[in-house]
Amino acid sequence: MSFKNTKNETAETKNPPVDKVRVGLITGSIWENKTDKGNFYNVTFERRYKDGDQWKSSHSYNTGDLLELAKAADLAHTKILEATAKDE
């Protein structure tokens, strides 16, 4: 019996985001899901921060991040509307 590491296979075959938006340290990655009913889009957000000499990311936001998060969400929304218009 052979066991496959599905987590690594999934990571290797996963498609990259179709676009990204960045406001300050907040990045929004736009993902496209193609279905027989059309294309659908999702967005994930992350905040970059420096821990010593290393850059890391978090999915937790403090009060000071919220305006940048909102602006990144607005930019992502605009890009998705533009992509949806091209799909039609």
pLDDT digits (tens, 9 = 90+) for 26-82: 999 999 999 999 899 999 999 999 999 999 999 999 999 999 999 999 999 999 999
Q: What is the pTM of this model?
A: 0.80
| In the predicted structure, residue 86 carries a pLDDT above the cut 70 | yes
| Spatial strand order in the sheet of 38-51 | 19-23, 26-35, 38-51, 54-58
Rounded CA gap, 38 and 74, in Å?
22
Q: Tokens standing for 66?
A: 């919220």
For the chain, give every domain's residue range.
Answer: 22-87
